[in-house]
Amino acid sequence: MRDAPSDLVEAARAARRVVVLTGAGMSAESGIPTFRGTRSGLWERFDPMALASPSGWAADPELVWGWYLWRVGLVRAAQPNAGHVALAQWARSAPVRVVTQNVDDLHERAGSADVVHLHGSIMAFRCSECGAPYDSGLVVAAAAAASGRPALQVAPPRCRECTSGVVRPGVVWFGESLPLGAFEAAVAAVEEADLVLVVGTSGLVHPAAQLPMVARQVGAFVAEINPEPTQTSGLAHEVWRSTAASAIPALVHTLWTPPCKDTPLEGF
Ligand code: APR
């Protein structure tokens, strides 16, 4: 287990309120692909405008629905990694809130109760016309039947309430607004925090990318956990070039290991 940077440990020990901002890198070690910065990134392999935008949905709802069924299958097959688990453990003994850009449910499945989803949830579905929620169990079953192929065209189901609309994923597409109150809740949490940990995000997508700056403006200690440099790195007081599943358990382990007192040797 790699040692946590001492400045971060000190800030974490002193912190009254901690906010952990997570991005796709948080779930990378659970086998869920990130979007950028690697050949296997989703936006290296697929066109975001065709698959994650209102215009793409209008142009070919079957292609979009089939792609999201594939992603639902990836999330269902994934397990929370040691980083998700360590965050949930940490929150049991300290005021730690998670603000995530991720649409997977791995933080919740690891036991995190207080999670703000800025970009919605891939396990929530609603009618594209009347907004009525749609049973995720039916979608999970359809995802299993779609046999894990990303480019399958599958007709989205009809809304059972209004019967005229078709069902869409409950995620935020490019050009759409964030869920009502989500960003406000994230800003409020960061404004109260004295430690903000930024894990696994390239810091490219707004408004989420503004949160580390808000943290600096309120005087919080900002630390980044990411194996690569990002747009946030220059803002951080501490940059830990490590991964979520290595670094977060190492930090939490250190926090739970009482600091050795500099007590002088006695009896010598
Ligand atoms: N641990 C920590 N960080 C990692 C790991 C890991 N194991 N693996 C990769 N990373 C880092 C990468 O270095 C990169 O900086 O995670 C980051 C992933 O960046 P993106 O793929 O851009 O993901 P994210 O920043 O979450 O994207 C934001 O863009 O497409 C939209 O809505 C989508 O929420 C997403 C948003």
CATH number at 167 reads: 3.30.1600.10
- 119 as an active site residue: the answer is yes
Q: Looking at residue 111, what DSSP letter applies?
A: T
Our count of domains for the chain comes to: 2
Report whether 163 contacts 101 (CB < 8 A): no
pTM: 0.94
Q: d(Cα 183, Cα 160) in Å, to the nearest integer?
A: 30
Report whether 65 contacts 151 (CB < 8 A): no
Strand partners, 199: 22, 225
Sign of CA dihedral 149, 228, 47, 72: positive
- Please give the share of the chain, as a percent, with pLDDT higher than 70: 96
Residues 129 and 24 both lie in one domain:
no
**Tokens, residue 103:** 């649409």
Residues 139 and 103 both lie in one domain:
no
Residues 130 and 251 both lie in one domain:
no
Q: Which residue's CA is minimally distant from atom 26 of ligand 1?
A: 23
Instruction: Give me the domain span that covers residue 93.
Output: 1-30+79-119+178-268
CATH number at 194 reads: 3.40.50.1220
**Tokens, residue 62:** 């079957």
Q: How confident is the model at residue 38 (pLDDT cuts 50, 70, 90)?
A: confident
Percent helix, strand and coil across the chain, each to the nearest 5:
40, 15, 45
What does the pLDDT look like over 5-31, one tens digit per residue? 999 999 999 999 999 999 999 999 999
Instruction: Please state the atom number of ligand 1 nearest to the C-alpha of residue 118.
Output: 34
Residues 135 and 69 both lie in one domain:
yes
Report whether 24 contacts 102 (CB < 8 A): yes
Residue of 118, 119, 183, 226 to mutate, ligand 1, most atoms within 8 A of C-beta? 226
